[in-house]
């Protein structure tokens, strides 16, 4: 059974920084793309940043230059470094991973979410 466990959320003042981590555990063949999504109250979930197995990254325009996604393949972990946080970054952040099972199927998995609150 595959599990994604996030950590690192919390309350921070505008201009501050947080680092989110997401560890993938369980039995599987490999991890393909990984990403961080967020959902603010009353809004749809949106992709914040993604990273391929080869390390290529993409970001939503609103976080470019402030957030950095990275991954440690040896630790099955993806990170999101968030700098210069703004109140509009307040949301529940979810980790996502596209994982290849031992049978060769690609399945999508989600973490439970971690709250990020930025005060003005």
Residue 68's pLDDT is 98
Q: Across all residues in the chain, what is the average pLDDT?
A: 97
How many whole angstroms separate alpha carbon 29 and alpha carbon 93? 26
Q: Which of 56, 54, 59 is nearest to 73 (CA)?
A: 54
User: Is-contact 67 83, C-beta < 8 A?
Assistant: yes
For the stretch 13-29, pLDDT in tens is 999 999 999 999 999 99
Name the DSSP class of 106. E
Question: How far from the centroid of its chain's Cα atoms is residue 88's Cα?
Answer: 17
**Count of H helices and E strands in the chain?**
0, 11
For the stretch 48-104, pLDDT in tens is 999 999 999 999 999 999 999 999 999 999 999 999 999 999 999 999 999 999 999
């Amino acid at each position: 059974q595959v599990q994604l466990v996030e950590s690192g959320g919390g309350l921070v003042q505008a201009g501050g920084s947080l680092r989110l981590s997401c560890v993938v555990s369980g039995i599987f063949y490999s991890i393909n793309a990984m990403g961080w999504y967020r959902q603010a109250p009353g809004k749809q979930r949106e992709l914040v940043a993604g990273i391929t197995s080869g390390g290529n990254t993409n970001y939503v325009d609103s976080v470019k230059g402030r957030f950095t996604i990275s991954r440690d393949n040896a630790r099955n972990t993806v990170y999101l470094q968030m700098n210069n946080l703004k109140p509009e970054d307040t949301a529940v952040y979810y980790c996502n991973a596209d994982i290849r099972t031992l049978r060769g199927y690609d399945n999508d998995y989600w973490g439970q979410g971690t709250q990020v609150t930025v005060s003005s």
